[in-house]
Amino acid sequence: MENKTINQENENVVVFEKVTVRFGTHTALEDISLEIKKGLFITVVGPNGGGKTTFLKLILGLLEPTLGEVKVFGEKPLKNLTQAIGYVPQIKTFDRSFPALPIELVATGLTGNWIGILSKEQKRLALEALEQVGATNLAKKPLGKLSGGELQRIFLARSIIRKPRLLLLDEPASGIDVAGEMDFNNILEEYKKRQNATIIMITHDWESAYHHSDYVLLLNRVKICYDEPKKAFSEKWLRIAFGHLGHAHEMIFGVKNND
Amino acid sequence: MIDMLSMTFMQRALIAGLLVGFLGSYFGVFIVQRKMSFMGDGLAHAAFGGIALGLLLETEPMWIAVPFTLIISIGITLIRDKTSLEMDTSIGIFFALSVALGIIFISLRKHYTTDAFTYMFGSILSVNTSDLIISSIIVVISIVLSFKFWRKWAYATFDPELAKADKLNTKFDDYLLSALISISIVISIKLVGIVLIASFLVIPAASARLLSSTFFKMTILSVIFGLISSLVGLFLSYFLDLPSGATIILIQAIIFFIAMSLKK
Ligand SMILES: Nc1ncnc2c1ncn2[C@@H]1O[C@H](COP(=O)(O)OP(=O)(O)OP(=O)(O)O)[C@@H](O)[C@H]1O
Ligand SMILES: [Mg+2]
């Protein structure tokens, strides 16, 4: 893994081939074909209900495509990819009444299972991961008492503790303040460099997508575009993806695009 | 004390009490954290249908009640999985159906005896050796399985989506948990009674939750509370000549209120 050749650099981490997902009669994703190369920071942008979470769940193997095929590291998902993939879920699923400490949640990233009593080594690794996301101070605070942003850091620590080659994040920045978000993005970029990892992040924050990602996937049921941020955040594509909201891009990117 | 222990029915009651106390408080932590408290009540009443059928057929009611309750617990989980109905709705439907069946079965019996009443409120006197053997087997099975499954159940209790993302077979794990809970409930009925059984699943676990920072501590503490309540409750019920199930629950409730005051 250390001496990477040009070939490996071009390795496809995720491949979608004519993928369609239907829930009953509702089509969440339609005819998506896509190749994501190794070592890139991808952001996925699109309106609510545009199929972004569905897209991630296909990669995780939590959902099967109705039509077409998904391959991750050249294999069908759900086949021993646990160690290679880290996942930060959309936060709403979390149950605050469950008695647990952040350090325990982080350690589940190691074993893929809940742990009764942490070993010394597991504790050390969990603390190390917490340190990487700047959350050492939260290690022993009850999970139920953390703020949304603090919790997101814990989930991030949990996802990087096994040093995955592919990191999937579902709106990790929701509930994080501006300074915290810049910090969060820097942590991700640093992780990507250190592990030569691929990152796929869903976000509603166009500005951070614009600045931090190598490629942007605009998704609204169909693949609208998969391109560099400068091209993806053009008025044309945004208008197709978001309808009338597309003009908002001028407010955010107008100046930068004219550079 | 020695005198009392030498009395076989009291020995049986103590062993039964500890077994039932263990099962309720161990599985209770999952019931409480998964917000399935209603499940205990639902399954106990499902068991009533099975017991009534057993009485009607004049066989050992437990042999009918165990499979009957198992089928109902699978039915409850199936309805939740296959329809958009919530678990409590699904439980409510089977709850009513089982009680209705039970009442019809009992009304069909030619001669009326008081044993149906025993099952409603529980009695030490009704616990026989074969009950103890069945309960012991279940306890041993749960202890053995819990080494393998506690982690999985705990993880899926915390967040089923995460557990699935980590490739746990949460469906199978859930059915196994429901099955073990159903069997535990049925074998607790003779001692505790249908009406009060849910508290065995809920009160020790709830007390433990108040005092625990981790789910592991909660599990250990819940089992300790469950065992202490059964022991103290049974002695009290013997000396004060009170019904066993109700007395044990009084002790569970006292522990709960102490836990609450410790929590401040
Ligand atoms: N399990 C499901 N059953 C039925 N419909 C679903 C299911 N999951 C998603 N959908 C539907 O598929 C569509 C895409 O959902 P998805 O969660 O992927 O959107 P999203 O882009 O992540 O939205 P958001 O920005 O709100 O998180 C939505 O219309 C949603 O209602
Ligand atoms: Mg989503």
Written in H, E and C, the secondary structure of chain A is CCCCCHHHHCCEEEEEEEEEEEECCEEEEEEEEEEEECCCEEEEECCCCCCHHHHHHHHHCCCCCCEEEEEECCECCCCCCHHHEEEECCHHHCCCCCCCCHHHHHHHHHHCCCCCCCCHHHHHHHHHHHHHCCCHHHCCCCHHHCCHHHHHHHHHHHHHCCCCCEEEEECCCCCCCHHHHHHHHHHHHHHHHHHCCEEEEECCCHHHHHHHCCEEEEEECEEEEEECHHHHCCHHHHHHHHHHHHHHHHHHHHHHHCC
Answer whether residue B2 shows pLDDT above 70. Answer: no
Sign of CA dihedral A49, A53, A59, A60: negative
* Distance (Å, whole) CA B173 – CA A187: 36
CB contact under 8 A, A93 and B161: yes
Range among A174-183, B178-187, B218-227 rated most confident:
B218-227
Give the mean model confidence (pLDDT) for residues B71-96.
85
Q: Which of A82, A89, A101 lies nearest to residue B214, judging by beta carbons? A: A101
Query: What chain A residue is nearest to B146 in terms of C-alpha separation?
Result: A116
Which tops the pLDDT comparison, A209 or B260? Answer: B260
Answer whether residue B118 shows pLDDT above 90. Answer: no
Below-70 pLDDT ranges, chain A: 1-10, 78-82, 91-94, 175, 244-259
- Ligand 1: centre distance to CA A28 (Å): 7
Answer whether residue B52 shows pLDDT above 80. Answer: yes
Which tops the pLDDT comparison, B112 or B223? Answer: B223
Please tell me if residue A93 touches chain B, with a CB cutoff of 8 Å: yes
Q: Is B58 helix (H, G, I), strand (E, B) or coil?
A: coil
Question: b vs e for A43-69, b when ≥16 Cβ sit within 10 Å of the residue's Cβ?
Answer: bbbbbeebbbbbbbbbbbbbbebeebe
Q: How confident is the model at residue B3 (pLDDT cuts 50, 70, 90)?
A: low
Shortest-distance atom of ligand 1 to CA A54: 18
What is each CA distance from A239 to A125, A203, B27, in whole angstroms?
Answer: 45, 18, 54
The neighbourhood of ligand 2, an ion, using CB within 5 A, equals A 53
pLDDT at residue A56 in the model: 93
pLDDT at residue B191 in the model: 81
For residue A45, give the ligand nearest its CA. 1
pLDDT at residue B130 in the model: 77
∠ Cα A140 A144 A150 (to 5°): 70
What is each CA distance from B23 to A193, B29, B118, B257, B264, in whole angstroms?
Answer: 51, 10, 21, 22, 29
CB contact under 8 A, B213 and A99: yes
pLDDT at residue A1 in the model: 43
Six token digits for residue A250: 């001028």
Task: Express as a percent the part of chain B with pLDDT over 70.
Answer: 94
Interface with chain B: mutation pick from A114, A122, A156, highest number of B CBs within 10 Å = A114
pLDDT at residue A111 in the model: 87
pTM: 0.82
pLDDT at residue A249 in the model: 52
Spatial contact of A167 and A197, defined as CB atoms under 8 Å apart = yes
Mean pLDDT of the residues in chain B: 87
Answer whether residue B188 shows pLDDT above 70. Answer: yes
pLDDT at residue A151 in the model: 85
Quote the minimal CA–CA distance from A34 to chain B in Å. 22
pLDDT at residue A21 in the model: 96
Query: What chain B residue is nearest to A168 in terms of C-alpha separation?
Result: B165
DSSP structural state of residue B241? T
Please tell me if residue A25 touches chain B, with a CB cutoff of 8 Å: no
Query: What chain A residue is nearest to B153 in terms of C-alpha separation?
Result: A114
Residues forming beta bridges with residue A35, ordered by sequence position: A15
Contacts of A113 in chain B (CB under 8 A): 151-152, 155, 166, 168
Q: How many CB pairs under 8 A join A and B?
A: 68
Answer whether residue B257 shows pLDDT above 80. Answer: yes
CB contact under 8 A, A95 and B218: no
What is each CA distance from A33 to A7, A42, A94, in whole angstroms?
Answer: 22, 15, 32
Nearest to A7 by CA among A53, A39, A42: A39
Q: Which of A215-224, B7-16, B169-178 has the lowest mean pLDDT?
A: B7-16
Rg over alpha carbons for chain A, rounded to the nearest Å, is 18
Answer whether residue B262 shows pLDDT above 80. Answer: yes
